[in-house]
C-alpha cells in the first residue's frame, strides 16, 4: 500500500524465551509489585513468602516442627526440617517450570501453591540463589546467579537434620533500592503461626508461635474491647474467630490453605452471607445484614483442594468449590456456621444477648442516619456528573467495581497541585481526588459527619467504602500534600478521618503518603531530584558546587513533565503503618487531641518534612 511501511512477519520474528528470561522480563506476572519494600505486598516479601510457603506445606503434611528465617543486609536464608527435596531433583525443582511435588496430589493435597512456579521465580529474580537439601545423612547443594546454574555439587555426607535450606538475595537490577521492613515480615510470620499452631517460626532468633490460632490473631488485633468474648470455632477444614466491637464498619481477615488473602474472595463472601443467615435464624428476626455485620471483627481460614486464585500473588480466592466433586464453599461455610455458631449461641446466652444488643445499636444508628445518608448519596451522585473533584481512571469508567491491584487514587489539595498530578498521571490506573482547603478534624466525631461534610461524603463515595472494603475501588489510596507544615497538617487530618471511620483501610495496607522531592539539583548535563538534605548534599558533590538548586515549596510548583518521574515507575510511597503495639484511639488522641508540648516535640523530632525545614 503506497505510503505505508511494509513490516515483515516471518519465522525470524518469532522468539522463544527460556523460563528465567520470561520471569525476568515479566516479573509482575509472578510476584506482583516490584516496589522497594515499603509496602507489605511488594515483591521482595512475595519472594520470601514463596519459599516459606513450601516449608509450611511440608509441615502441613506432617514433616518439620520449625522454620528458621534469617534476614540480614538484604540476604534471606530459610531453613526447614521437612523431608528435604529428593536429592536427584534439587536442581530441577528450582529451575525447571512444570517440575515440583505439588503436581502430585498424593504428596500435597491442600497446598498453598499448585503451579510449581514459586521457587523458580525467586531463583530467576535473585542475583544469587543457593539450595541445599538434606536427606538421610546426604546433602545436595546447587548455586545459581539470576537463574543460571553456576555450581552443581555432587552429593556429599552431612550431619544436618533432614530438610531444605534456601538462601537468596533479590536482584537489584530488578528491585533497585530495596530493604526489608521487619514489621511486614513479622506480620507475615505471625499469620503463619496463627494458622499452624503446632509450628514454631524464628526470625533472626525471635520466636513466633501461637497456641490458639485465629483466636490469638483476633485478640492481638482488636483495636477496641470486644462486646462479648471471642467466638472460636474449629473443624478439620475450617476455622473461624469472631466478635463485635464499637468500631465502625466490618473487619475481616481471610486465609486459604495458610495463605493470607487481603482482597478476600469466595470464602470471605461465603462467610459474610452465611453469618447473616445463621444470626437471623437464631434470633428469628429479619435483621438488616448491615446491622448484623456492623462492628464485626472476624477471621476465617479454609482448606481447599486445588485452590484457584485470581493472580499469581494469591491475594484473592476465586474457587467456588471446596475441591473437585466437593460441596460449594458457600454451602460448606453455611453448614459449618449453622451447626457450630448456632450451638455456641444456645450454650452461651449471655454472649447471644450482647450480640443482639450490638445489632440493635447498629439498627438505631442506621435509622438515625437514614435521612442524612439519602441526601448525601443524592449530592454525591449529582456531583459525579459535573464535579471535577474526582478525575477517575479508565479502569473504573462505566461503573466497573472490581479493583485492580494497580489502581491508585491520589488525594490532593489545591487546583495547581491536583492539576499537575492530573496531567502527569497514568489515565488507565491513576485517579485524582481534589480537596478544597483543609479537611475537618474528625477526631472524636460520629459517622454522621461523614455524610454532612461534603468533602468527606464525596471522598467516601469515590472510594465506595460506605459499607466496608468489599467494593473498594482503588487498591492504593495515596495522600499527596505539600512538603510544608500546612501539607503535614492536611496529611494528619486525612489519616485521622480514615482511622476514625474506616480503620480497615489503614490496617489492610491500602493507605500511603506520596513522597515528592524537596530539591532539584542540576547542571547542563544532568538533573537529580532529592528527597532530603542528605540527598541534596550527595547530588552537589556529584554535579559540582555551581549546580543550580531549586527548592520545591509545593506540589503546584512541580511541572507535569517532572511529576511523571515521581508518580511513575520510580514512585516513592510511605505506607501508613500502625505499629503492632499501637492503639488507634490512643494514637489519634496524641496527634489530634488537645495540643501538647509532647506532641509538638514528637513532630519536630520524627517527621521528615519538619527535619528538612529545620535543616534548611
Q: Which of 10-19, 119-128, 464-473, 474-483 has the lowest mean pLDDT?
A: 10-19
Q: Residue 404: what pLDDT? A: 65
Q: Is the confidence at residue 13, as pLDDT, over 90? A: no
Give the range among 87-101, 162-176, 345-359, 584-598 with minimum mean pLDDT.
584-598
* β partners of residue 68: 79, 202
Residue 351 lies in a domain: yes
Q: Is the pLDDT of residue 612 over 60?
A: no
Residue 129 sits at φ, ψ, to 5 deg, of -145, 125
Residues 443 and 504 both lie in one domain = yes
Q: Comparing 75-84, 236-245, 560-569, 591-600, which segment has the lowest mean pLDDT?
A: 591-600
In angstroms, the Cα distances linking 304 to 40, 189, 255, 331, 340 are 25, 21, 10, 14, 20
Does residue 150 lie within any of the structural domains? yes
3-state secondary structure of 539: helix
Instruction: Mark whether 284 and 418 lie in a shared domain.
Output: no
Q: Check which CATH number belongs to the domain holding 335 and give it.
A: 3.30.230.10
> What's the confidence (pLDDT) of residue 616?
33
Domain assignment present for 370: no
- 59-73, 132-146, 500-514: range with lowest mean pLDDT: 500-514
From the CB of residue 114, how many other CB atoms can be counted at a distance below 10 Å? 18
Cα dihedral 493/495/501/502 (nearest 10): 160
Distances (CA, A) of 485 to 57, 152, 554: 50, 58, 11
What mean pLDDT comes out for the span 356-372?
A: 91
Whether the per-residue pLDDT at 204 is higher than 80: the answer is yes
The pLDDT of residue 579 is: 63
pLDDT per residue as tens digits for the range 382-399:
666 545 688 888 876 544
Q: Is the pLDDT of residue 351 over 60?
A: yes
SS3 425: coil
Answer yes or no: do 243 and 353 share one domain.
yes
| Residue 520 main-chain phi, psi, to 5 deg | -120, 125
Strands (E), 209-351: 231-235, 238-244, 251-256, 259-260, 296-302
Residues 6+ apart with CB under 8 A from 36: 42, 175, 176, 177, 178, 179, 572
Are 165 and 279 in the same domain? Answer: no
Identify whether 4 is part of a domain.
no
Do 420 and 556 belong to one domain?
yes
Report residue 489 as a C-alpha cell.
497538617
Predicted pLDDT at 152 = 94
Which of 191, 208, 225 represents a domain boundary (last residue)?
Answer: 208
pLDDT tens track for 436-463: 888 898 888 888 888 888 889 889 988 9
Residues 125 and 189 in one domain: yes
Provide the β-strand partners of residue 298.
Answer: 242, 252
pLDDT at 284 over 90: yes
Domain that holds residue 227: 214-365
Which pLDDT does position 559 carry in this prediction? Answer: 85
Q: What are phi and psi of 301, to 5 degrees?
A: -130, 130
Residue 66 belongs to domain with CATH number: 3.30.565.10
pLDDT at 334: 96
Q: Are 118 and 51 in contact (CB under 8 A)?
A: yes
What's the CATH code of the domain at 400?
A: 3.40.50.670
Residue 586, pLDDT score: 63
CA distance 515 to 22: 32
| H or E stretch at 207 | strand 206-208
| Secondary structure of residue 99 in the 3-state scheme | coil
In the predicted model, what is the mean pLDDT of residues 204-213? 96
pLDDT band at 323 (very low <50, low <70, confident <90, very high): confident
pLDDT of residue 466: 84
For residue range 543-600, what is the model confidence (pLDDT) as tens digits? 988 899 999 878 878 888 888 888 887 788 888 877 655 566 666 666 666 655 666 6
Alpha-carbon distance of 263 to 317, in angstroms, equals 8
- With bands split at pLDDT 50, 70 and 90, how would you rate the model's confidence at 86? very high
Question: Who's near 225: CB < 8 A, 6+ residues apart?
Answer: 245
> Does 408 share its domain with 261?
no
User: What pLDDT score does 14 carry?
Assistant: 47
Contacts for 4 with CB less than 8 Å, ≥ 6 apart: none
- Rounded CA gap, 405 and 37, in Å? 16
- Please indicate, yes or no, whether residues 133 and 245 belong to a single structural domain of this protein: no
Based on the fold, state whether residues 446 and 477 are members of the same structural domain.
Answer: yes
d(CA 553, CA 524): 23
Per-residue pLDDT tens over the stretch 514-541: 988 889 999 988 999 888 888 899 999 9
**Arithmetic mean of pLDDT, 136-164:** 95
121 with 159, same domain?
yes
Nearest to 97 by CA among 173, 15, 46, 21: 21
Point out the least confidently predicted range of 208-212, 304-308, 400-404: 400-404
112 — pLDDT class (breaks 50, 70, 90): low
Domain count of the chain? 3
Question: Residue 415: which region, alpha, beta or left (left: phi > 0; alpha: psi -120 to 50)?
Answer: alpha
pLDDT value of residue 12: 55
pLDDT tier at 488 (50, 70, 90 boundaries)? confident
Please tell me whether residues 287 and 242 are part of one structural domain: yes
**Is 128 a residue whose pLDDT tops 50?**
yes
pLDDT at position 280: 98
Q: If you write DSSP's letter for every residue of 319-349 in order, what string do you get?
A: --BSSTTS-BHHHHHHHHHHHHHHHHHHH-H
Q: Is residue 376 part of a domain?
A: no
Rounded Cα distance between 1 and 23, Å, is 39
142, 130 Cβ separation under 8 angstroms: yes
Element (H, E) at 269: helix 266-283
The residues facing 467 across adjacent strands are: none
Residue 304 lies in a domain: yes
pLDDT, average across residues 50-78: 93
Beta strands 430-435 and 408-413: pairing type? parallel
Which domain-ending residue is among 188, 208, 228? 208
pLDDT confidence band for 101 (50 / 70 / 90): very low
In this structure, the answer to whether residues 154 and 299 fall within a common structural domain is no
% the chain with pLDDT above 70 = 84
Domain boundary pick from 146, 181, 208: 208
> Cα–Cα distances in Å, from 525 out to 528, 549, 561?
10, 14, 18
Distances (CA, A) of 311 to 28, 343, 401: 10, 37, 18
Task: Assess if residue 2 is contained within a domain.
Answer: no
Q: Does 381 map to a domain?
A: no
Amino acid at each position: 500500500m503506497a505510503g505505508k511501511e511494509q513490516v515483515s512477519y516471518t519465522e525470524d520474528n518469532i522468539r522463544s524465551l527460556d523460563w528465567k528470561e520470561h520471569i525476568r522480563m515479566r516479573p509482575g506476572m509472578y510476584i506482583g509489585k516490584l516496589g522497594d519494600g515499603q509496602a507489605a505486598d511488594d515483591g521482595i516479601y512475595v519472594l520470601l513468602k514463596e519459599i516459606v510457603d513450601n516449608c509450611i506445606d511440608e509441615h502441613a503434611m506432617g514433616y518439620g516442627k520449625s522454620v528458621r528465617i534469617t534476614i540480614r543486609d538484604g540476604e534471606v536464608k530459610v531453613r526447614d526440617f521437612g523431608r528435604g527435596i529428593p536429592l536427584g531433583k534439587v536442581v530441577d525443582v528450582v529451575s525447571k517450570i512444570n517440575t515440583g511435588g505439588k503436581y502430585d496430589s498424593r504428596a500435597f493435597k491442600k497446598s498453598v501453591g499448585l503451579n510449581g512456579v514459586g521457587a523458580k521465580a525467586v531463583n530467576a529474580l535473585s542475583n544469587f540463589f543457593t539450595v541445599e537439601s538434606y536427606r538421610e545423612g546426604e546433602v545436595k547443594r546447587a548455586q545459581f546467579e539470576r537463574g543460571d546454574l553456576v555450581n552443581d555439587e555432587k552429593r556429599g555426607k552431612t550431619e544436618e537434620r533432614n530438610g531444605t535450606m534456601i538462601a537468596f538475595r533479590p536482584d537489584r537490577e530488578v528491585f533497585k533500592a530495596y530493604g526489608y521492613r521487619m514489621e511486614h515480615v513479622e506480620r507475615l510470620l505471625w499469620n503463619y503461626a496463627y494458622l499452624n499452631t503446632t509450628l514454631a517460626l524464628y526470625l533472626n532468633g525471635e520466636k513466633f508461635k501461637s497456641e490458639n490460632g485465629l483466636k490469638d490473631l483476633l485478640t492481638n488485633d482488636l483495636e477496641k474491647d470486644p462486646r462479648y468474648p471471642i467466638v472460636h470455632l474449629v473443624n478439620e477444614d475450617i476455622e473461624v474467630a469472631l466478635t463485635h466491637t464499637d468500631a465502625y464498619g466490618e473487619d475481616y481477615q481471610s486465609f486459604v490453605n495458610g495463605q493470607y488473602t487481603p482482597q478476600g474472595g469466595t470464602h470471605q463472601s461465603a462467610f459474610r452471607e452465611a453469618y447473616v443467615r445463621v444470626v437471623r435464624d437464631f434470633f428469628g428476626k429479619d435483621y438488616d445484614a448491615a446491622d448484623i455485620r456492623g462492628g464485626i471483627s472476624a477471621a476465617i481460614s479454609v482448606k481447599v483442594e486445588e485452590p484457584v486464585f485470581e493472580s499469581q500473588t494469591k491475594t484473592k480466592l476465586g474457587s467456588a468449590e471446596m475441591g473437585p466433586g466437593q460441596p460449594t464453599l458457600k454451602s460448606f461455610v453455611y453448614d459449618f456456621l449453622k451447626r457450630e455458631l448456632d450451638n455456641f449461641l444456645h450454650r452461651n446466652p449471655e454472649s447471644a444477648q450482647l450480640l443482639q444488643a450490638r445489632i440493635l445499636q447498629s439498627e438505631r444508628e442506621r435509622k438515625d442516619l437514614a435521612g442524612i445518608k439519602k441526601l448525601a448519596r443524592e449530592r454525591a451522585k449529582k456531583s459525579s456528573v459535573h464535579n471535577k473533584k474526582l478525575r477517575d481512571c479508565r479502569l473504573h469508567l462505566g461503573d466497573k467495581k472490581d479493583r485492580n491491584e494497580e489502581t491508585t487514587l491520589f488525594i490532593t489539595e489545591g487546583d495547581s497541585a491536583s492539576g499537575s498530578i492530573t496531567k502527569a498521571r497514568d489515565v488507565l490506573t491513576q485517579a485524582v481526588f481534589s480537596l478544597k482547603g483543609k479537611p475537618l478534624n474528625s477526631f472524636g466525631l460520629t459517622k454522621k459527619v461523614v455524610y454532612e461534610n461534603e468533602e468527606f461524603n464525596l471522598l467516601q463515595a469515590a472510594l465506595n467504602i460506605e459499607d466496608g472494603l468489599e467494593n473498594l475501588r482503588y487498591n492504593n489510596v495515596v495522600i499527596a500534600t505539600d512538603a510544608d507544615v500546612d501539607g503535614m497538617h492536611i496529611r494528619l487530618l486525612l489519616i485521622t478521618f480514615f482511622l476514625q471511620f474506616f480503620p480497615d483501610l489503614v490496617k489492610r495496607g491500602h493507605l500511603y503518603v506520596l513522597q515528592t522531592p524537596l530539591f532539584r539539583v542540576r547542571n547542563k548535563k544532568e538533573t537529580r531530584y532529592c528527597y532530603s538534605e542528605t540527598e541534596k548534599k550527595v547530588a552537589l558533590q556529584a554535579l559540582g558546587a555551581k549546580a543550580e538548586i531549586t527548592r520545591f515549596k509545593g506540589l503546584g510548583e512541580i511541572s507535569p513533565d517532572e511529576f511523571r518521574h515521581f508518580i511513575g515507575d520510580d514512585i516513592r510511597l510511605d505506607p501508613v503503618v500502625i505499629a503492632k503495639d499501637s492503639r488507634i484511639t490512643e494514637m489519634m488522641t496524641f496527634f489530634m487531641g488537645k495540643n501538647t508540648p509532647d506532641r509538638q516535640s514528637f513532630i519536630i523530632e520524627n517527621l521528615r518534612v519538619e527535619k528538612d525545614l529545620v535543616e534548611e
